[in-house]
């Protein structure tokens, strides 16, 4: 890290919702690289941490804080990131990095022009089994991929109306986690060819999606995302190769090759994200891979819309 920056680096957390409390706050508490110095929230802050009602108020009051982590929903995130970059802050974006691909590309241009780091984070890529899966697949021929990503929306997104509004992504909010793993372990291999999206009659975003991809004549790939799951969550990716099958389960935290469980990383997704943010700032680089979001955009472009029953939280 640059000698002009303090260590640990003060960071502000913007948007104190479920993901911030469950993941970001504990990760920062255990970090040697960062110290949580302030937060922005209109609905309650974090005990013992300086709280501001708006990002503008934070930027005015704390010019000494060099980095911000944005955890608000995707639609308002562009304006917040733009303001932070204009103020010379390094910025970490919770997934998805924006409501549109154009936003992400524009933010990258702004960050490059301002000489600050922009990190579009994909937490599921940091799951313990993902890196060893990518390494094992590097010299294998992929023949088939099957993704099943199914959970109960009432369990994981209780009362979060923004996910049902335009720009909120609906079932792609968790589904993009699977796509982030897919584009990490098989980079550049696939593109979407068809999609069926099921929309509750009273909502603007889908509750379920079935996707079909191709990577050539001999590669088949499908994905099923569903928020109507009852019972245990299913977060699984299966890959058939010329050297046998690979399976990632529990969101990528467990890896099996030919049925045998492999050693996986243990750092944790969000601690690993902040370690990566630290590396990027130190090297004065940005990381804004939009590949998972491109698949989602393609699904909305190609997708056949199916009407489903009304959803009530």
Structural domains for the chain: 9-120 (3.40.50.720), 128-264+297-308 (3.30.360.10)
Report the pLDDT value the prediction gives residue 218, as an integer from 0 to 100: 80
Report the pLDDT value the prediction gives residue 1, as an integer from 0 to 100: 38
Mean pLDDT of 191-206: 97
Whether the pLDDT of residue 3 is over 50: the answer is: no
Per-residue pLDDT tens over the stretch 38-70: 999 988 889 899 999 999 999 999 999 999 999
Report the pLDDT value the prediction gives residue 7, as an integer from 0 to 100: 87
Tell me the pLDDT band of 72, cut-offs 50, 70 and 90: very high
Report the pLDDT value the prediction gives residue 43, as an integer from 0 to 100: 80
Report the pLDDT value the prediction gives residue 202, as an integer from 0 to 100: 96
Bigger pLDDT: 183 vs 47: 183
Per annotation, catalytic residue among 18, 89, 95, 155? 95
Per-residue pLDDT tens over the stretch 232-267: 999 999 999 999 999 999 999 999 999 999 999 888
Mean pLDDT of 147-176: 94
Q: What does the mean pLDDT of the chain come to? A: 95
Report the pLDDT value the prediction gives residue 44, as an integer from 0 to 100: 83
Report the pLDDT value the prediction gives residue 183, as an integer from 0 to 100: 97
Report the pLDDT value the prediction gives residue 288, as an integer from 0 to 100: 97
The pTM (predicted TM-score) of the whole model is 0.95
Whether the pLDDT of residue 2 is over 60: the answer is: no
Whether the pLDDT of residue 99 is over 60: the answer is: yes
**What does the chain look like in DSSP terms, one character per residue?**
--TTS-SSEEEEEE--SHHIIIIIHHHHHT-SSEEEEEEE-SS---TTSEEESSHHHHHHH-TT--EEEE-S-HHHHHHHHHHHHHTT-EEEEPSSS-SSHHHHHHHHHHHHHHT--EEE--GGGGSTTHHHHHHHHTTSPEEEEEEEEE-BHHHHSTT-GGGGSTTS-TTHHHHHHHHHHHHHHSTT--EEEEEEEEEETT-SS-SEEEEEEESSTT-EEEEEEESB--SS-EEEEEEEETTEEEEEEGGGTEEEETTEE-----S-HHHHHHHHHHHHHHHT--B---HHHHHHHHHHHHPEEEEE-----
Per-residue pLDDT tens over the stretch 5-41: 888 999 999 999 889 999 999 999 999 999 999 999 9
Verify whether residue 95 is a known catalytic residue.
yes
């Amino acid at each position: 890290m640059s000698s002009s920056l303090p260590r640990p680096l003060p960071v502000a957390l913007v948007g104190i919702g479920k993901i911030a409390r469950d993941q970001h706050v504990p990760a920062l508490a255990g970090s040697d690289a960062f110290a949580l110095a302030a937060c922005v929230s209109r609905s309650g802050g974090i005990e013992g941490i300086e709280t501001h009602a708006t990002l503008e108020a934070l930027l005015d009051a704390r010019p000494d804080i060099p980095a911000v982590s944005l955890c608000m929903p995707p639609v308002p995130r562009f304006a917040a990131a733009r303001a932070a970059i204009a103020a010379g802050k390094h910025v970490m974006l919770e997934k998805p990095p924006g409501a549109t691909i154009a936003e992400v590309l524009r933010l990258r241009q702004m960050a490059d022009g301002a000489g600050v780091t922009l990190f579009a984070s994909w937490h599921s890529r940091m799951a313990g089994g993902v890196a060893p899966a990518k390494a094992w697949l590097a010299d294998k021929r992929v023949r088939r991929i099957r993704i099943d990503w199914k959970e109960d929306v009432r369990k994981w997104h209780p009362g979060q109306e923004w996910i049902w509004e335009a720009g909120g992504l609906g079932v792609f909010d968790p589904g993009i986690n699977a796509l982030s793993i897919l584009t990490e372990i098989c980079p550049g291999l696939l593109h979407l060819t068809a999609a069926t999206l099921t929309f509750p009659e009273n909502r603007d975003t889908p509750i379920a999606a079935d996707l079909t991809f191709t990577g050539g004549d001999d590669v088949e790939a499908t994905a099923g995302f569903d928020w109507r799951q009852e019972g245990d969550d299913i977060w699984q990716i299966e890959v058939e190769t010329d050297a046998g099958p690979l399976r990632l389960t529990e969101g990528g935290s467990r890896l099996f090759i030919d049925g045998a469980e492999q050693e996986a990383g243990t750092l944790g997704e969000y601690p690993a994200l902040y370690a990566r943010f630290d590396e990027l700032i130190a090297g004065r680089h940005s990381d804004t891979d939009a590949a998972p979001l491109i698949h989602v955009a393609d699904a909305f472009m190609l997708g056949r819309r199916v009407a489903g029953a009304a959803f009530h939280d």
